[in-house]
Amino acid sequence: MSDASSALPPAGDARTGWPAPAPGAAPMPVLILAQSKLEARLLIRNGEQLLLTLVIPVLLLVAFSLEPLLKVGSSSRVNFLVPGIIALAVLSTAFTSQAIATGFERRYGVLKRLGATPLSRTGLIGAKTLTVIGVELVQAVLIVAIGFAIGWHPHAGALAALWLIVMVLAGTAAFSGLALLLAGTLRAEATLAVANLLYLVLLGIGGIIFPLSKFPASARSVLTLLPSGALAQGLRNVLQYGSGLPVRDFVVLLIWAVAAIAAAARLFRWE
């Protein structure tokens, strides 16, 4: 008796319209999108990361907007805080959350296993970047909506949205480079400790919650060179004071981004 499978028409036969088999990896954009969706699902399932990226910035915005002890000159507290909280959202997502997640992925061998798949290292970085930008978009919408609800009145020009995007992307590049540098050179436990410590330090002295004018003049010039200080001050120049692209702050972020990404590419240990 003949094999029943021999009665089936061959794949790609014109009588059936079946496509001929095409073995091989999917196009890189498809791989990046699929990995990005996986990264997003893992983030949603992680309550600690959601607390860090979504809940804490919103709580700080509401709490400090109502805090009478926060003196910011003639400007209202909420007008001062909204740009800083957007900068905090970038810090928490692109740096702290990404550093911790990547550090533990490296420890558990996830990155090593992904290296054996068609998804290249460049594709993995692209997927993580896409996920970070997606989370930051959700954060920005939430922060802006709550800001308007509690009385935020931005003094921004027609190109403010463009300058806002440019500054956020520059800040994301800088903090992502620092996150990968940290996660790729330290043990996972050390990455967790250092990332959280830097988060708290930059929250306090990075011009996010407290005006840099509260610090001594000798320290102020140094603090404005921190990526958090440059991003927060740049966003305030755009949204609070209605200026154009804050070139100095943008250049500071670009220098941090180039230096951190170059160092991460050279020193990152994938195993």
**In the chain, where the domains are located:** 27-267
Per-residue model confidence (pLDDT) at position 83: 94
Enumerate residues 6+ apart whose C-beta is below 8 A from 216: none
* 3, 118, 149, 247 from 20: Cα distances, Å: 22, 21, 57, 55
Q: How many helices (H) and strands (E) does the chain have?
A: 12, 0
pTM (predicted TM-score): 0.83
What does 134-156 look like in DSSP terms, one character per residue?
A: HHHHHHHHHHHHHHHHTT-----
Q: pLDDT tens string for the chain (271 positions)?
A: 455 555 555 555 555 556 665 666 667 777 778 878 887 887 777 777 777 788 889 988 988 887 654 555 545 788 889 999 999 999 999 999 999 988 988 888 877 776 666 666 677 777 888 888 889 999 999 999 999 998 898 888 788 889 999 999 999 999 999 999 999 999 999 999 999 999 999 998 988 988 888 888 888 889 999 999 999 999 999 998 888 899 999 999 999 999 998 898 888 887 7
- Percent helix, strand and coil across the chain, each to the nearest 5: 70, 0, 30
